[in-house]
Amino acid sequence: MAKLTIDGREITVEAGTKVIEAAERLGIFVPRYCYHPGLSIAGNCRICMVEIEKFPKTQIACNTDCLDGMVVRTDSDKAKETRRHILEFLLANHPLDCPVCDQAGECWLQDYYMKFGLYDGRFYEEKVKKQKAVSIGPTVMLDAERCILCSRCVRFSDEITKTSELGIVSRGDHSEIAVHPDRELDNKYSGNVVDICPVGALTDKDFRFKCRVWYLKSADSICPGCARGCNIQIHYNTDRPQHGSGERVMRLKPRENPEVNQWWICDAGRYGYKSIDHNRIERPVVRKPDAVQEMDWPQILDEAARKIREAKGKIGVFVSPQLSNEELSLTRKLFSGDRFQTFLFSPNPEGDQDDFLIRSDKNPNTKGAELMGFKSTGVEALFKECEEGKIEGLLIFGQDLLSLLDPRRVEPALNDLLWTVFIGPHHNLMSEAASYVLPSAVYAEKNGTFTNFQGKVQKFNQALEPLGQSRPEGEILKDLADRLGVKLSLAATG
**390 and 325 share one domain:** yes
**346 and 415 share one domain:** yes
Share of the chain above pLDDT 90, in %: 73
Residue 390 has pLDDT above 70, yes or no: yes
pLDDT digits (tens, 9 = 90+) for 217-252: 999 999 999 999 999 999 998 665 544 447 899 999
**426 and 386 share one domain:** yes
Inside any domain, residue 101 = no
**313 and 395 share one domain:** yes
Quickly state the pLDDT bin for 491 (edges 50, 70, 90): low
Give just the sign of the alpha carbon dihedral 272, 277, 283, 285. negative
**362 and 234 share one domain:** no
- By CB neighbour count within 10 A (0-12 exposed, 13-18 middle, 19+ buried), where does 68 fall? exposed
The partner residues of 396 in beta bridges, in order of sequence, read: 318, 422
- By CB neighbour count within 10 A (0-12 exposed, 13-18 middle, 19+ buried), where does 434 fall? buried
Task: Report the half-sphere exposure of 132 (CA within 13 A, side-chain side).
Answer: 10
pLDDT digits (tens, 9 = 90+) for 121-164: 777 778 888 889 999 999 999 999 999 999 999 999 999 999 99
Cα three-residue angle 156-160-161, rounded to 5 degrees: 95
**63 and 162 share one domain:** no
pLDDT digits (tens, 9 = 90+) for 59-108: 999 999 999 999 999 999 999 999 999 998 898 888 888 888 989 999 99
CATH number at residue 245: 2.20.25.90
The partner residues of 319 in beta bridges, in order of sequence, read: 344
On average, the pLDDT of the chain sits at: 91
Of 432, 470, 435, give the one whose Cα is nearest residue 297.
Answer: 470
Q: Which domain holds residue 260?
A: 215-276
Q: In b/e form, how buried is each residue of 104-137, taking b as 16+ CB within 10 angstroms?
A: eeebbbbebbeebbeeeeeeeeeebebeeeeebb
Inside any domain, residue 332 = yes
**70 and 131 share one domain:** no
**197 and 222 share one domain:** no
Helix or strand run (H / E) with residue 60: strand 59-60
Close Cβ partners of 413 (under 8 Å, ≥ 6 residues apart): 383, 386, 387
**Full-model pTM:** 0.89
The partner residues of 233 in beta bridges, in order of sequence, read: 220, 253
Inside any domain, residue 371 = yes
Question: 39-45: which pairs have CB atoms within 8 A and are 24 or more residues apart?
Answer: 39/152, 39/155, 39/156, 39/159, 39/160, 39/196, 40/155, 40/159, 42/150, 42/151, 42/155, 44/149, 44/150, 44/151, 45/86, 45/90, 45/148, 45/149, 45/150
Query: How many structural domains compose the chain?
Result: 4
- The neighbour count for residue 84, using CB atoms within 10 Å, is 16
* First CA to last CA distance, the chain: 46
Quickly state the pLDDT bin for 371 (edges 50, 70, 90): very high
Domain boundary among 161, 183, 204: 204
**131 and 238 share one domain:** no
